[in-house]
Structure 1
Amino acid sequence: MTRAETTPVRPGEELPLEALKAVLRGRIPGDVDALSAEQFPGGFSNLTYLLRLGEAEYVLRRAPLGPVARGAHDMTREAGLLARVHPALPVAPQPILLVEDASVLGAPFYLMERRHGAVVRAALPPEYAALPDAPAQLSHAMMDTLADLHRVDIDAAGLRSLGRPEGFNGRQVDGWAGRWRRARTALDGTGDLPPPETLGDEEVIGWLEAHLPPESAHTLVHNDFKLDNLMFDPADPSRVTALLDWEMTTVGDPLVDLGLTLTYWTMPQQPGGAPTQVGAAAPGFPGRDELVARYEARLARHVTSSLPWYEVLGHFKLAVIVLQIFARYRAGQTADPRFAPLAAQAAWLIGEARRRIADLA
């Protein structure tokens, strides 16, 4: 599945359509009585649905089912952020309606405009198969979009208040380390992870703390920037039509974004174990160094020498994300079978972080 296609709603994640009709009636354009819902299948975090109200279409986003960490999956914050980012960066979709009343769906939610385009996950979409330059065009457009995100004037756009950029890198390490330890503790005794002395996770945390760099700049930070969070024009792989999944966006060091993007780009498979035919190892796609050069050229700024720390952080951060999701799956808070391999994926990412640290010694 390569376009932003929808599927029937997964069992257990259905929307209460009558309650939804009642809260939407008179508040948005469209035929509320004709309301139907489908689900976007990608993503391991927030639940995202396509709502059809006759001819009108909207995207609904809400937090995942089950307990969530305090401050995470904040739909009120995400909708407000998009309202400010959209005028400064048009690839950010425009929010339409925020509903903070948790009694409607069990959690606050918001509606945003629907964008159309191709989503590149584990393979090239069929519409790009006949375009020999498509891999390079997609990759360059991805990096240009990342650079453009980091060029947004956070003061002119009223975005500086999203976070505390001073001391950002230290808080990143502390925060992700705490999340990792809580998720690892929740899995104690299950055998899903190797013991800490074998896994080496505390070694990675210690290295990140000992080699903490000062912030390279203060900009918007998407915090989950990767190829399949972008939508592309099906007829033109060099044109991005949307940047999605803004739930973790803040203000801080832009190289945190770049490090995570490179983590995804150089992985031999996707989180969950699905093989991938895109990224650094795939035919026609540029390697890591070419992506970095493209980013530097767009920003007119040299960043290469300071990147290794951010790439180790990227591997650790992604390990935390997938382990948190696995812990929810193991606790029975979600039954999505895509989550079953994620503990092994987290362990692999920790091992990759350790290998990169060893290479720097």
Structure 2
Amino acid sequence: MSGIHSIPESSASVWPAGVALRDEAEMRQLDWPRIARYLAGHGLVLDPHTPPRQFVGGLANFNFLLRVNDTWMVLRRPPDGPLPPGANDMAREHRILSRLWEELPFAPRSYHLCEDAEIAGAPFLLIEFRQGLVLHGGSVSPLAATVETGQALSGMLVDTLVAIHAVDPERVGLGTLGRPEGFFRRTAQGWAKRAELVSGGTLPTAAVEAVRWLEQCAEPAATTPVLLHNDFKLNNIIIDPHSLKPSAVVDWDMGTRGDAMFDLTTLLSYWSEAGDPDCMQRLEQMPSLNPGFASREAFANAYAAATGRSLADIKPWRVLTMFKLGVVFQQLHSRYVSGETNDPRYVGFGQLGLELHEFTLDVINERIF
């Protein structure tokens, strides 16, 4: 594809080219000698001449690049402190990624699960390393911000989500994953409880209205459950910088089975458009404001055309996932307030979460798709 800029290399020549890694002083420190001893007991030899390095980016899990058995692998573990219910589940992610690679070429293989939190401060995974480009925030850099780039990325997202939802969970041993029956109502109730917990029991007015709407709306019609990523968005995809196809889809710690609309509308909740209120302009979770990106509605229609799935019941899912996103940003802000992180990005997340609840009311009142 024309117009692609060169990808910068890591400052240390030992590391794979194009990988963005933190300086050692900025890394979350783990007990690497202890981890090495543990891994050796499982036939996994951590290279003593290649110190592990933490990847740049991410708001939750810690991911480290390391050399094990003469190949690159990723050690992945949850953040410090109390975890929201159902999130950062390493055992769930291992269950999915230890099998999904058999069906999806872009699913990295999970090789090992350690459930002993004493080894690395929390359970962790060893996952296959896939090289490529991750687009963080609202920019497509180092790609060229052209109409061609935006169109290609929009199309790739459609194709990738369609491929995930086409997987037969039974064929990869995931036929009992999750509880798809009653998925909508249970998920809505769960996020209402999380909202109450993170707000200290006093929900903001917009959140109260959103919860009331979700409680009273007609439950979407039951559909055949599909495999859900549960946090599908562009920065959870490692992209081949030349073809702009997925090299890997990562962050499966919340994967489950349920209605395909949940994954679709989760992606749309991150998708900012010109004309959106300020909170969606500041969100910067997707570079969808760049030239060539589809609108939310056009993307949903393209997905429906590719799968044959109806969008008739999309509104309840759209409200649910938009409300959920507001709660997530308030949860992230609470980690800053409690001292679990000093990352300056978290400072404004509480206010952003409140404004996203207001935006959820726009979706309810159909002022916006």
TM-score (structure 1 length as normaliser)? 0.88
Give the distance between the partners of 2:20 and 2:335, measured in 1 at CA.
26
2:260 pairs with one of 254, 262, 269: 254
3-state DSSP of counterpart to 2:320: helix
C-alpha distance in structure 2 between counterparts of 1:178 and 1:313, whole Å = 13
Choose the corresponding residue for 2:332, options 301, 308, 325: 325
1:285 aligns with 2:293: yes
The residue that corresponds to 1:62 in the other structure is 77
- Paired residue secondary structure (2:222): coil
Runs of 4+ displaced beyond 4 Å: 1-4, 9-12, 28-31, 267-272, 274-277
Give the 5 Å matches for 1:130-279: 133-185=148-200, 196=204, 199-211=205-217, 212-237=219-244, 239-266=245-272, 273=282, 275=284, 278-279=287-288
The CA distance in 2 between the partners of 1:9 and 1:30, in whole Å, is: 21
Map Cα deviations across residues 167-193 of structure 1 (whole Å, 9 max, x no partner): 00011101111111100117x7xxxxx
What percent identity do the matched residue pairs reach? 34
Describe the SS at the equivalent of 1:172. helix
- Preserved CA contact (<8 Å) 1:123 1:276: no
Deviation string 1:232-260 (CA, Å, 9 cap, x unpaired) is 111111x1111011011111111011111
**Counterpart amino acid of residue 208 in structure 2:** E
Number of equivalences: 348
Change beyond 3 A, Cα 1:4–1:247? farther
Q: Does 1:345 align with 2:352?
A: yes
Residue 15 of structure 2 corresponds to none
Residue 294 of structure 1 and its aligned partner are, at CA, apart by 2.1
Aligned residue for 2:302? Answer: 294
SS of residue matched to 1:33 = coil
| Rounded Cα–Cα distance in structure 2 between residues aligned with 1:276 and 1:78 | 22
User: For residue 40 of structure 2, what is the amino acid of its counterpart?
Assistant: R
Deviation at 1:103, TM superposition (A): 1.4
Distance 1:339 1:174 in 2: 26
Q: 1:130 to 1:139 in 2, by over 3 A?
A: closer
Letter of the aligned partner of 1:250 in structure 2? Answer: T
Greater mean deviation of Cα atoms: 153-162 or 52-61: 52-61
Q: Identify the match of residue 91 of structure 2 among 55, 63, 76.
A: 76
Q: Which runs of 5+ in 1 are unaligned?
A: 189-194
The equivalent residue for 2:317 is 310
Residues 143 and 291, structure 1, Cα contact 8 Å, conserved in 2: yes
Distance in 2 (CA, whole Å) between partners of 1:125 and 1:262 is: 21
How far residue 18 of structure 1 moved from its aligned partner, in angstroms, is 1.0
* TM value normalised by structure 2: 0.86
Alignment check: 8 A CA contact 2:62 2:77 kept: yes
Instruction: Give unpaired runs (5+ residues) of structure 2.
Output: 1-6, 9-17
**Deviations for 1:18-48, whole angstroms, at most 9, x for unmatched residues?**
1122112264565532241211222211111
Match of 1:102 in 2: 117
Aligned partners of 1:85 and 1:92 also within 8 Å: yes
Deviation at residue 165 of structure 1 after TM alignment: 0.7
In the TM superposition, what is the alpha-carbon distance from 1:271 to its structure 2 partner?
A: 8.4
- Which residue number in structure 2 is paired with residue 88 of structure 1? 103
In structure 2, what is the Cα distance between the partners aligned to 1:276 and 1:95? 26
**Would the alpha carbon gap of residues 169 and 9 (structure 1) be closer, same or farther in structure 2, given more than 3 Å must change?**
farther
Look up the equivalent residue of 1:146 and give its one-letter code: L
Range moving further from structure 2, 344-353 or 157-166:
157-166
CA distance in 1, matches of 2:230, 2:47: 35
